[in-house]
Structure 1
């Protein structure tokens, strides 16, 4: 399994991935993929620019990755924020990730988060913030397996409780 940035060669695999989320009537995670309803090529270019820090006001540099197997079958996707702003300190953190519905429970999210943490370390991030909704027991397990230490939770305006975890990137990753 490897992390792969969006590219034109995996366009068909990308749409297959997105369509599976829709078939299961689930919100696509990470949210950066929810807005793809136009030209895939334009989105690949946008994601590339965002990775290089060319972002809209209020956003931070971020990189979107797909977790793929040797056949470029997309198992999951993640969005890694290179730094945190005030909003990301409360909800979102450094990494958002999701695994396609038919591939859950196989350890892919744990692998994907670890690979994102390795990338963050190369950017000089010393501690990564990863968040998940309180009712998402699976994501909480993934974060804890990657060394997450729970911090204060955050309550959104709608009452949703967001758990916040810090992961030290200075030592060896779990």
Structure 2
């Protein structure tokens, strides 16, 4: 599996995964937060810019990595570098991720999280905060499979229950 940032040449495979996620969302899966990207080139530029600067002082800089397998996009993981921005230390966490419906239950996200943890270690960040809705059992199992220890479950503004985990990744 190749894991890297998005390139303009990835549009076809990006659109294929986007279509699968949007169809799942339309079918009623409220755990999917994907929305349609109208201008792919602009999206690529935005992702690159967000690595070093954010327009809103409450938002963390973020690097989003995508995984590819046999020419298909299989998932993405967003690494937020500044936990002290906005509500990240309470509900957002360091990491956001999604696996293509076509590639779930194959260990894709575990591998992507291991990759992400290496990026955090490179920055000297050795304690990672990850959250998932309490009802999102597959996501919670993934977090636990990479060493996530449940801190607590809290109720958030929309009435949902949020499971909050810490993962100690140690130094390089």
3-state secondary structure, aligned to 1:114: helix
Secondary structure at the counterpart of residue 91 of structure 1: helix
Describe the shift of the 1:27–1:119 C-alpha distance in structure 2 as closer, same or farther (beyond 3 A): farther
How many residue pairs get matched?
Answer: 167
Compared with structure 1, are the counterparts of its residues 28 and 163 closer, same or farther at alpha carbon in structure 2 (3 Å cutoff)?
Answer: closer
- Report the alpha carbon displacement of residue 41 of structure 1 after superposing the two structures with TM: 0.6
1:164 Cα deviation from its structure 2 partner? 0.7
2:150 matches 1:150: yes
The alignment's TM-score, normalised by the length of structure 1, stands at 0.88
Deviations 1:80-109 (A, max 9, x none): 101212401111201111111121111111
Answer whether contact 1:27 1:34 (CA < 8 A) is retained.
no
Tell me the alpha carbon deviations over residues 24-80 of structure 1, each in whole angstroms, 9 at most, x when there is no partner.
224685x5x5362x211111011001012x1121111101111111x3310111111
Alpha carbons 1:68, 1:76 under 8 Å: kept: yes
Structure 1: distance between partners of 2:142 and 2:158: 25
Aligned equivalent of 1:80: 79
What is the rounded CA distance, in whole Å, between the counterparts of 2:35 and 2:65 in structure 1? Answer: 14
SS of residue paired to 1:158: coil
SS at 1:152 equivalent: strand
Tell me the equivalent position of 2:42. 42
Moved more, 77-86 or 126-135: 77-86
> Which contiguous aligned blocks of 4+ residues in structure 1 show a shift greater than 3 angstroms?
26-29
- In the alignment, the residues of structure 2 paired with residue 28 and residue 75 of structure 1 have an alpha-carbon distance, to the nearest angstrom, of 17
Kindly indicate whether the alpha-carbon contact (under 8 Å) linking 1:90 and 1:154 is maintained by their aligned counterparts in 2: no
Q: How big is the shift at 1:21?
A: 1.1
User: How many Å separate the matches in 1 of 2:31 and 2:40?
Assistant: 16
Q: Is the 8 A contact 1:51 1:63 kept in 2?
A: yes
**Structure 2 CA distance for aligned equivalents of residues 148 and 11 of structure 1:** 33
Gaps of 5+ in 2: none
Normalising by structure 2, what TM-score? 0.89
